[in-house]
Structure 1
Amino acid sequence: MIPEFQFEGNPENATAMAAYMRQRYQFVGVKTPTRRQQSKALIKLTKKTDPATVLTWIAHFYARQEREYQYLAIDLGVAIVPQLTLSQLHQLVAYIPQKAWWDSVDAWRKVYDGYLKRHPADKSQIFGWFYGQPNFWLRRIAITLQLLEKDTLDTTLLTQAIEADLETDEFFIQKAIGWALRNYSKFNPQWVRQFMATHQLQPLARREGGRYL
């Protein structure tokens, strides 16, 4: 059974939020702190609900028109990460290209980050779900999959992901390359310097990647 749930928003917020997102989506008008407060009880309910059932909730909310419901669906995914099997985690990949923009795609990455913290041995397999895919949003996750890792970051996988898109003109891919290199440079600046010296990066990726060097 799908829980009955509706956000209560502010029309003025909705107008401003839609403008910020270049009119790509309609909004209820619920800002993030309020959204999390309103959905707190529903998120808590996941703790005593079978993950397979929560996956049906995710499908239901992700299909709704207003953008906040996609955020809610992703929040539900984050909440059930500790209970997900690898197969169930893979089911969520199908949502990433749907209604895709940087906000939802980068939020989905947090689901995989949370899973990998618990199951690091599955990293190569999960990376394979995103690496080399025709959809550039999936490839963005291949690049940023290890974004928050330090000593556990697999430089071979990061190199593969970046090299596959060195010549891709898509802004969100080049931004992701720079973002991944910039974050890793905080932990291993020597590796990032060497990588940037031996690869022909596009200006955006080079500028972003070298920001802390």
Structure 2
Amino acid sequence: MTEELIAAFYAQRNPAKAGFMAAYMKDKFPFLGISKPERAALQRDFLRGARQAAAVDWGLVARLWALPEREFQYLACDYLAAVKGRVAADDIGRLAGLVTAKSWWDTVDALAAVIVGDLCARRPELVGSYVVGWSTGENLWLARTAILFQLKYKEKTDTEVLGLVIRNTCGTKEFFLNKAIGWALREYSKTDREWVRAFVAGHKLHPLSVREGSKYLT
């Protein structure tokens, strides 16, 4: 089924769209030119079957990540989202490997908010033993993941962890980190506006983070 799906993706190639899609991603990766709705239609049956599997097929994920066209990394992220409940604690290293391979915001954000976020909600001990450390490391994409993994937590957000990873990363001029800080604060402000207001007032954040994080505070 996997090889048939890969072949179906290649058969759907659209060079005209591919150029625009690659340009949007700063020409970091080649594209087939398959739009998101087209991709969803192609992979629907495959993902339906994947949800019935007993375990995550990490070989499949590695196969898709190794293919050059970006749509295959999107397929891998969608596959992991479909089977996220079966991602285990000892898979955290595999997820870190995906974050740091062929890294750009599109796949990193999907892995952070959906896959890492779900895993850490189920296995919170991973936050202290892995994720917080990512916020102090040299890899900006792991640091971005540490900022964004609670993005969907709402009232279950651990504000001590959120504040810690932001403090660990807010002294940077790196756009992708400052943007992530603002996004995380903005999203949490939908749940606790006063916490975000106090945090922004009490910390020296990059103007981009302040602007993004304060969007819903007025």
TM-score over 0.5 for the pair: yes
Match of 1:167 in 2: 171
1:44 aligns with 2:53: no
Unaligned stretches of 5+ in structure 2? none
Pairing of 1:31-70 with structure 2 (within 5 A): 31-52=35-56, 54-70=57-73
Corresponding residue SS for 1:207: helix
Contact 1:130 1:142 in 2 (8 A): yes
1:95 maps onto 2:98 in alignment: yes
**Other-structure match for 2:191:** 187
CA offsets, 1:13-70, max 9 Å, x none?
Answer: 1111111112111101111111111112222232343425x11000000010000011
Q: CA deviation at 1:131?
A: 2.8
The structure-2 alpha-carbon separation of the partners of 1:50 and 1:3, relative to structure 1 and needing over 3 Å to count, comes to farther
Q: Tell me the amino acid that sits aligned with residue 111 of structure 2.
A: W
Aligned AA for 2:43?
A: S
Letter in 1 for 2:103: A
Query: Conserved in 1, the CA contact under 8 Å of 2:146 and 2:165?
Result: yes
Task: Tell me the residue number matched to 1:137.
Answer: 141
Q: Distance in 2 between matches of 1:189 and 1:47?
A: 37
Q: List gaps (5 residues or longer) in structure 1.
A: none
When structure 1 is superposed on structure 2, of 7-16 and 153-162 the one drifting more is 7-16
Deviations 1:78-115 (A, max 9, x none): 11111222112432211111111111110111112233
Partner secondary structure for residue 134 of structure 1: coil
Could you say if the C-alpha distance between residues 23 and 160 of structure 1 is closer, same or farther in structure 2, counting changes exceeding 3 Å?
same
Aligned residue runs from structure 1 range 99-138, under 5 A: 99-109=102-112, 110-120=114-124, 122-125=126-129, 127-128=131-132, 130-138=134-142
CA RMSD of aligned residues (A): 1.9
Match of 1:158 in 2: 162
Using the size of structure 1 for normalisation, the TM-score is: 0.91
Aligned residues: 212
Contact 1:184–1:192 (8 Å) recurs in 2:
yes
Shift of the 95–139 alpha-carbon distance from structure 1 to 2, 3 Å rule, reads: same
Identity, in percent, stands at 37
Please report how far the alpha carbon of residue 117 of structure 1 lies from its aligned counterpart in structure 2 after TM superposition.
4.5
For residues 149-198 of structure 1, the C-alpha deviation after alignment (integer angstroms, 9 at most, x for no partner) is 22211111011111011211100000001001111111111111111111
CA distance in 1, matches of 2:121, 2:34: 30
Letter paired with 1:106: D
Question: Post-superposition shift, 1:123?
Answer: 4.2
Asked if structure 1 preserves the Cα contact closer than 8 Å seen for 2:88 and 2:119, the reply is no
- Given residue 200 of structure 1, which amino acid in structure 2 is its aligned partner? K
Give the distance between the partners of 2:135 and 2:200, measured in 1 at CA: 21
